[in-house]
Amino acid sequence: MAEGKIDVLLVENSASTRMFLARLLESDPKIRVIRAVADGQSAIDYLDGSMPDVVLMDIHMPGLDGFETTKRIMETRPVPIVICSALASDTVFRSLAAGAIACIEKPTDRGHSNVEAVAGKLLQTVKLMSEVKVVRRRPRPRASAAPSPAVSSQGRPAKASVNIIGIGASTGGPPALQTILSGLPHDFPVPILVVQHIAPGFLSGMAAWLKQSTRLPVQVGSHGTLPMPGHVYLAPDDFHMGIDASGRIILASEPTESGLRPAVAFLFRSLAEVRGANALGVLLTGMGKDGAAELKLMKDRGARTIAQDRASSIVHGMPGQAIALGGATHVLPADQIAQALVSSVGKSRVAKEEKS
C-alpha cells in the first residue's frame, strides 16, 4: 500500500466494463489500479512478480474462471480477493469457499437503476477488504474430538432443552456456514435461523449453493412461517428476521442496526427475549461487531453460545468482540461447530427425558 493508496489488480473479461471499473476505482483518491487484465491466467502471471493489496475479479472468464483463479492464487500467493459479479452463480460461492473474502454486485454504466449506490458499495468493500490479512489455503483435517458439554453460568451442565438455533455471519460467512450445515444429520431436530451479510441479490444463489452440500432444506425466511425442525431459514435482503411470542418468523423493516439490515443483533435479541435458555446462538466470522453484545445477552438469559475462533475466521471482528464481552460459552473452529450443535441438541434431549 504505497503512498497511502490501495493497489488493486482488476480482472475483468469485458473490455468496456474493465475500463468503466478502472475509472470508478480511481475516482476514489485512496485507490489505484496498478494493472487491469482480461483473464485469470493473466492475473496469476502478474502476481508472480507483484503483490496488490486487493484483487477485484470477474467470475466468468475465458480459460480459468473466477473459482479456479481464486483457488490457484490462494494456494500460492494469497491476497484479498473480492468477487465482482452481475449474477449470484454457483461459481461465486465456490470462489468464496476457495478463499475469496467477499462478493459484490457489479456496477455498470449501462441502464443500472441504482448505479451510484452499487458503485459506492464496491469502493467501500475494496477499501475494507484491503485491511484483511489472508493466509495460504491448505486442507484442514476435520476434528474428531468432541466439544466439552455446555455449562450453565453456575458451572453445572446446562439442562434447558434447545429448540431453536440462531447463526450470524458476515465476511467469510458463506464457506463457514457450508462447513457447519454439511456436518449436520438429515434428522437434525431443531430449526436454524441465519443472518448472513451479503450483497443484495446474492441470497437466493447462496441458498441454492448451500442446498448442494447439506441434507437439510434451506430457504429464505418468510413472515409468519412457523420454523420446522431441521430446516434452515435465511434472513431476506433488507429485512431484519426474528421470532415472535408464538414462535413464528417475523420480518421487520425497522431501522438499520450498525448500518445493517438484516442485523444479527435483531435475530439474537429476539431469540434471547422469546426463547431464553432454550435457544443456542452462533456468531461466525465477520467485520465489525454486529451481534456481539446480543450473543452476550443470549448467554445471560441462559442460552448456549458459540463464537468462531480466530484461526478459522477470515475476519475475527464479530466473534472476537463477543469473546471479549464474555458472551461465548464455547470458542470453536468452524469445522467443530456442527459437532457442538449435535452434541448440544443431544444433551438437551437427554435432559428433557430425565426431567419428564
Name the catalytic one among 42, 95, 130, 170. 170
Is the alpha carbon torsion for 212, 214, 216, 219 positive or negative? Answer: negative
Give the list of residues 6+ apart from residue 247 with CB closer than 8 angstroms, or none.
Answer: 164, 226, 227, 274
Beta strands in 120-228 (DSSP E): 164-169, 192-196, 218-220
* Cis peptide upstream of residue 255 (ω within 30 degrees of 0): no
Question: How close are the terminal C-alpha atoms of the chain, in Å?
Answer: 63
Distance, CA of 63 to CA of 245 (rounded, Å): 53
Distance, CA of 172 to CA of 305 (rounded, Å): 20
The answer to whether residue 65 is catalytic is no
Give the list of residues 6+ apart from residue 3 with CB closer than 8 angstroms, or none.
Answer: none
> Could you please report the per-residue DSSP string of 294-319?
HHHHHHHTT-EEEEE-TTT-S--HHH
**Cell numbers of 174, please?**
458463506
Name the catalytic one among 53, 58, 290, 309. 290
Distance, CA of 356 to CA of 203 (rounded, Å): 41
Q: Counting beta carbons within 10 angstroms of the beta carbon of residue 348, is it exposed (0 to 12), middle (13 to 18) or buried (19 or more)?
A: buried
Name the catalytic one among 7, 28, 65, 197. 197
The answer to whether residue 240 is catalytic is no
The answer to whether residue 187 is catalytic is no
Q: Which residues are catalytic?
A: 170, 197, 290
